[in-house]
Amino acid sequence: MRIIKLALAMALVAGLAACQKTTAGAGNVDGARIAAADTNGEWVSYGKGYSEQRFSPLDKVNATNVGQLGLAWYAQFDTDRGQEATPLEVDGVLYTTTAWSKVFAFDAVTGKLLWSYDPKVDGKKGFDACCDVVNRGVAVWKGKVYVGTMDARLVALDAKDGHVVWQTQVADAAKPYTITQAPRVVKDKVLIGESGAEYGGRGYLSAYDAASGKLVWRFYTVPNPNGADGAVSDKVLKDKALATWPEGSWKMVGGGGTVWDAIAYDPALDLIYFGTDNGTPWNQQVRSGGKGDNLFISSIIAVKADTGEYVWHYQVNPGESWDYSAVQPFILADLTIAGKPTKVLMQAPKNGFFYVLDRTNGKLLSAKAFVPVTWASSIDIATGRPVENPSARYKSDIDLQMPAPLGAHNWHPMSFSPKTGLVYIPAQSMPFAYQADPKFIYKPGGWNLGVSMLANAGPMTPEQTKALAANIKGWLIAWDPVNQKPVWTVNRPYFWNAGVLSTGGNLVFQGAAEGQFYAYDAANGKQLWAYATGNGVIAAPMTYEIKGEQYVALMVGSGGGGQVSAPSLLPARPRLPGRLLVFKLGGAAKAPPFKIVEPPPLNLTGVKTTGDKTHGYVVFNDNCQVCHGANATGSWLPDLKRSILITTPDDFNSVVIQGVRAHNGMVSFSKFLKPQDVEDVRAFLISQAKGEPLPGAAVAAKAASGAK
Ligand code: CA
């Protein structure tokens, strides 16, 4: 947006000869190479190899010398939104993506930019992204680099120079579908899903021919209310799923079950595993009359790699009602359970239980809570179903529950070390006030939850605030998956911390919300090293070795769902440009400090409004809080309490009604709000800018009492 990075400019000056030399035969990755990366030092797929363990045996950087780790090189990007990507390293080239689905290829040793690609996504698509305009990375296969875009395209680039070889529309861009997921490639097929369950999307996983971009198969995760799709999922949806969806608004809204993160592959079993999101609307009462399991939302599904045919599924949350998705990253490993070598699939989904499944047949082997959980007491091993607490299925009363929709663990990758036998989980805790929305009306293109967002925005007593704060936590948990218990834990000052890497050097690396990048002893959690990035970190680090030198790479830049929807719970920091930091032993490069410009205080003298601030409080929290924070406490997607736009109705309307900032993702709300609603919101924002008490006390008290 505002900075052309120095490294980028230098790379252009460096000339093409070096680039062509480094990139000859570029992107030479196939299935054997990805499978081998499960155990060797290469990192050639999103989760390293097909098993997504994110453990590297590299040990040149280790617990005895990690104190000498320093910056080898860095690059700064032209976007200040969240950076979630894991870079891949293939034959000396580091491939990464940034927010807005841009792709960059660097010389992995020097940091020289080799090429970049901008899919030029229309900024309006930012509105369709529930959780920031992020992207988690590329796939590389036989000379091509694949990226999913915010406007739901899958693009194949030439690995040598980044030119577009083919592209295809994975989902209708006119609908609120987006893609943030990193593609994976199995047997010459590029696998990609989509995001959008909050908006009413219907989920599916697609497999495209890697060479031509032609669709090979598609597996829909929820039934089509209008009949068959002509897809490989038709039979299983008819036989197993349709009867689990009684009447309800899902037929109109879409059902959910989008496929936006976890994909893994077992070459020996030839099975592809993928996870599905929550149902739409969230509230099962609204979605399907409170009845039925609603297959295959919130599920782990195994299909045949060649055809996409259904093999087995395990539903994490039958009849899901809390945004407890099962798309969180999988790890495939072979564990010794009860003395027997067992092929498992492990997941720590949003709902707070750590699941170990037999990946040959989907049978649940064990499940234990890894954070405080209020919605269920346990998972019944015999049936595989949760033992839900009676109050979990919230109705008209506010029900404070944990985990929150942001999850006990979200997309942030975890890591499994075969050396320690531990899974390192970026875990978190946060309560959420669930309350059924008695007046659910389908809003095409908007959020459709069937849950009152106002319940989380009521004014609180100091005691309530204290109780809430005491339950907002972040941890790095080293979890023993065989005995289902923690071995060590690092407490974090904030929730929404970063993805994890473990290595053969007995190290665990993780970035944190406050901006530090840490290395710990993998066996006991002792902190061995830290580096201040100057920005929040959410992405997972990766590591690679070139000519005997080990490097550790990390994308830096706060953002994503936690930063967008709960900014007041994270460090107060303006949006800062994303960076790629690459470290090595003895690295002596310096990244300059970020320039932080404080906006001047807003002068509200003479500012007038005819709006009703109490009604504005309701409208704001129903429509605006998922991006601007409950009660306008947000300081990340602009702090509206400090925005000059609120000083006149014309300026405010130009953005909210006329949509003059649609290019940033702030589209016109004219189809959701009446002109008086907008003025009422402005009145509410002015009252908050003046530091007045929340005008909603009476409204919240009424809502809390269940009155309609
Ligand atoms: Ca969701």
pLDDT band at 18 (very low <50, low <70, confident <90, very high): very low
pLDDT band at 699 (very low <50, low <70, confident <90, very high): low
Cα(13) to centroid of ligand 1, in Å? Answer: 44
Give the integer Cα–Cα distance in Å for 578 and 619.
33
Cα(191) to centroid of ligand 1, in Å? Answer: 20
Instruction: Tokens for 267, please give them.
Output: 């070459």
Q: What is the pLDDT of residue 627?
A: 85
Instruction: Tokens for 175, please give them.
Output: 């609908």
Cα(404) to centroid of ligand 1, in Å? Answer: 11
Cis before 594? omega within 30:
no
User: Residue 689: which H helix or E strand, with range?
Assistant: helix 675-689
What is the average pLDDT value for the chain, to the nearest integer? Answer: 92
* Under 8 Å between Cβ of 205 and 305: no
Per the annotation, the verdict on 650 as an active-site residue is no
Cα(350) to centroid of ligand 1, in Å? Answer: 10
Residue in 323, 437, 639, 680 annotated catalytic: 323
Q: What is the pLDDT of residue 572?
A: 87
* Residue-wise pLDDT tens digits, 99-112: 999 999 999 999 99
Identify the DSSP state of 227.
S
User: Residue 186: which H helix or E strand, with range?
Assistant: strand 184-186
Cis before 403? omega within 30:
yes
pLDDT over 70 at 9, yes or no? no
Give the integer Cα–Cα distance in Å for 389 and 395.
14
Query: Cα dist. 248→223, 284, 442, 447, 451 in Å?
Result: 13, 9, 12, 17, 15
Which residues does 543 contact at the CB level (< 8 Å), separation at least 6? 43, 56, 58, 61, 501, 503, 550, 551, 552, 553
Mean pLDDT in residue range 165-174: 95
Mean pLDDT in residue range 699-707: 48
* Residue-wise pLDDT tens digits, 537-590: 999 999 999 999 999 999 999 999 999 988 888 998 889 999 999 999 999 999
Cα(617) to centroid of ligand 1, in Å? Answer: 25
* Residue-wise pLDDT tens digits, 303-351: 999 999 999 999 999 999 999 999 999 999 999 999 999 999 999 999 9
Q: What is the pLDDT of residue 501?
A: 99
pLDDT over 60 at 8, yes or no? no
Cα(660) to centroid of ligand 1, in Å? Answer: 29
Query: Cα dist. 660→129, 134, 362, 542, 641 in Å?
Result: 19, 22, 50, 40, 19
Give the integer Cα–Cα distance in Å for 173 and 146.
18
Q: Which residue has the tokens 């506010």?
A: 398
Cα(478) to centroid of ligand 1, in Å? Answer: 26
Give the integer Cα–Cα distance in Å for 89 and 297.
34
* Under 8 Å between Cβ of 622 and 631: no
Q: What is the pLDDT of residue 6?
A: 40
Give the integer Cα–Cα distance in Å for 31 and 29.
7
Q: What is the pLDDT of residue 535?
A: 97
Cα(264) to centroid of ligand 1, in Å? Answer: 20
Cα(34) to centroid of ligand 1, in Å? Answer: 29
Q: Which domains does the chain have, with CATH numbers?
A: 69-84+411-431+471-593 (2.40.128.630), 613-704 (1.10.760.10)
Who wins on pLDDT, 639 or 153? 153
β 500-503/55-56 pair status: parallel
Who wins on pLDDT, 634 or 262? 262
pLDDT band at 24 (very low <50, low <70, confident <90, very high): low
* Under 8 Å between Cβ of 426 and 414: yes
Least Cα distance to 384 among 404, 406, 356, 346 occurs for 356
pLDDT over 90 at 498, yes or no? yes
pLDDT over 70 at 707, yes or no? no
pLDDT over 50 at 194, yes or no? yes
* Residue-wise pLDDT tens digits, 450-463: 998 888 887 767 77
Q: What is the pLDDT of residue 460?
A: 67
* Under 8 Å between Cβ of 357 and 442: no
pLDDT over 90 at 242, yes or no? yes
What beta strand segments (E) does 267-385 contain? 271-275, 279-280, 299-304, 310-315, 330-337, 340-347, 353-358, 363-369, 376-379
Cis before 281? omega within 30:
yes
Cα(569) to centroid of ligand 1, in Å? Answer: 20
Rounded to 5 degrees, what are φ and ψ at 67?
-60, -20
Full-model pTM: 0.93
Cα(282) to centroid of ligand 1, in Å? Answer: 8
Cα(50) to centroid of ligand 1, in Å? Answer: 25
Cα(261) to centroid of ligand 1, in Å? Answer: 11
Q: What is the pLDDT of residue 2?
A: 34
Give the integer Cα–Cα distance in Å for 123 and 121.
6
pLDDT over 50 at 12, yes or no? no
Mean pLDDT in residue range 66-94: 98
Least Cα distance to 199 among 132, 279, 296, 124 occurs for 279
Mean pLDDT in residue range 494-514: 98
User: What percent of the chain stands above pLDDT 90?
Assistant: 78
Cα(134) to centroid of ligand 1, in Å? Answer: 15
Give the integer Cα–Cα distance in Å for 51 and 246.
37
